[in-house]
A = this chain, B = another copy of it.
């Protein structure tokens, strides 16, 4: 067993609990929510492992979380960050099999934005050697979400709608949908992204700022009959999209990129057309999906990264010590993920 240091550098939460007024996954200054700290290196308890970080990722859920608008409460002074990749350097009882393995992980609560990370063994996936540390750092949250949600879409027909299609998760879903013979209908904000998304596999791409977007979408609905809308935006346009979809359509919210609160203008869509509005959260999927189904999905995710069908686009790499001063400005760049290195 490697000799471990007593303390480590970590990026920690400044606030406890939840906020009462969510404003979305955006920040002006990471220093409003995060601080640098020297913490004791934690010891793994039963079923846990200690991981020496190789790379961590920044997901929208991390930003919602540090601001207190995610599905679990913050603990002031604890390290932030949900997801990463690293080497298991110590194990608790029952987790010995992971010792010395390179793993992708998600933490039980938070803690990935630190030199050492505690994670439940069941949330660690040993990585195939072909997979880079950076792909490993974004191996679970987005890819499993993409797999699980496209599975839901596939059960309801040949076409599905997705918003924020240029996000990492959106791109994964476009290419996966295409590979499965489905027709992804992608909603994007910026016209310059249309061609790239079509190359990735989107059957149709609509620009949400175009004045005729709802009419154009309605026309596409008549042809393709999409019955699932995977929505990370959840604004008034989302509601119009939902209303334009055919009967039995499901509006599945999995993010909240817009600060606008949508109004339900047509209750008849729910009553007469059998439509419904619901949510998707990977944490609920993990607790409600049988382990063998999860293992199948995890293996498929790794296979797709290993052979290059999927990759993580990186917009910037930041060291842990450069994170707080630079995170806000780096997040404003589009086109890829911010990756954190120790």
Using CB atoms and an 8 Å cutoff, list the residues of chain A in contact with chain B: 22, 69-71, 234, 253-256, 261-281, 283-284
Report the bound CA distance from A273 to B18 in whole Å. Answer: 15
**Contact A277-B272, Cβ < 8 Å, known A261-B265, A265-B261:** no
- In the assembled complex, how far is the CB of residue A259 from the closest CB belonging to chain B, in whole angstroms? 11
Contacts of A278 in B (CB 8 A): 270, 275-277
Give the residue of B253, B256, B272 whose beta carbon is less than 8 angstroms from that of A279: B272
- In the assembled complex, how far is the CB of residue A60 from the closest CB belonging to chain B, in whole angstroms? 12
Contacts of A274 in B (CB 8 A): 279, 281, 284
Report the bound CA distance from A196 to B281 in whole Å. Answer: 43
**Cβ–Cβ contact B256 & A268, under 8 A:** yes
**Cβ–Cβ contact B276 & A253, under 8 A:** no
Contacts of A283 in B (CB 8 A): 272
**Cβ–Cβ contact B270 & A275, under 8 A:** no
Q: List 16 A-B contacts (CB under 8 A).
A: A71-B271, A71-B273, A234-B264, A234-B267, A253-B267, A254-B271, A261-B264, A262-B264, A263-B263, A264-B264, A267-B279, A269-B279, A274-B284, A275-B278, A275-B279, A277-B277
- In the assembled complex, how far is the CB of residue A312 from the closest CB belonging to chain B, in whole angstroms? 23
Main secondary structure, interface of A, reads loop
Point out which of A261, A264, A275, A281 has the most chain B C-beta atoms below 10 A from its C-beta: A264
Report the bound CA distance from A266 to B259 in whole Å. Answer: 11
Report the bound CA distance from A277 to B239 in whole Å. Answer: 13
Complex copy number for this chain: 2
Chain B residue with minimal CB distance to A265? B261
**Cβ–Cβ contact A267 & B256, under 8 A:** yes
**Cβ–Cβ contact B268 & A22, under 8 A:** yes
- In the assembled complex, how far is the CB of residue A141 from the closest CB belonging to chain B, in whole angstroms? 14
Contacts of A71 in B (CB 8 A): 268, 271-273
Contacts of A69 in B (CB 8 A): 268
Contacts of A261 in B (CB 8 A): 263-265
Report the bound CA distance from A295 to B226 in whole Å. Answer: 35
**Cβ–Cβ contact A263 & B262, under 8 A:** yes
Chain B residue with minimal CB distance to A260? B263
- In the assembled complex, how far is the CB of residue A68 from the closest CB belonging to chain B, in whole angstroms? 11
Report the bound CA distance from A261 to B256 in whole Å. Answer: 20
Point out which of A70, A234, A271 has the most chain B C-beta atoms below 10 A from its C-beta: A271
Chain B residue with minimal CB distance to A72? B272
Across the A-B interface, the 3 shortest Cβ-Cβ residue pairs: A71-B272, A270-B279, A271-B279
Contacts of A267 in B (CB 8 A): 234, 253, 256, 279
- In the assembled complex, how far is the CB of residue A270 from the closest CB belonging to chain B, in whole angstroms? 3
Chain B residue with minimal CB distance to A283? B272
Report the bound CA distance from A305 to B251 in whole Å. Answer: 40
Chain B residue with minimal CB distance to A269? B279
Chain B residue with minimal CB distance to A278? B276
Chain B residue with minimal CB distance to A288? B274
Contacts of A254 in B (CB 8 A): 271
- In the assembled complex, how far is the CB of residue A267 from the closest CB belonging to chain B, in whole angstroms? 5
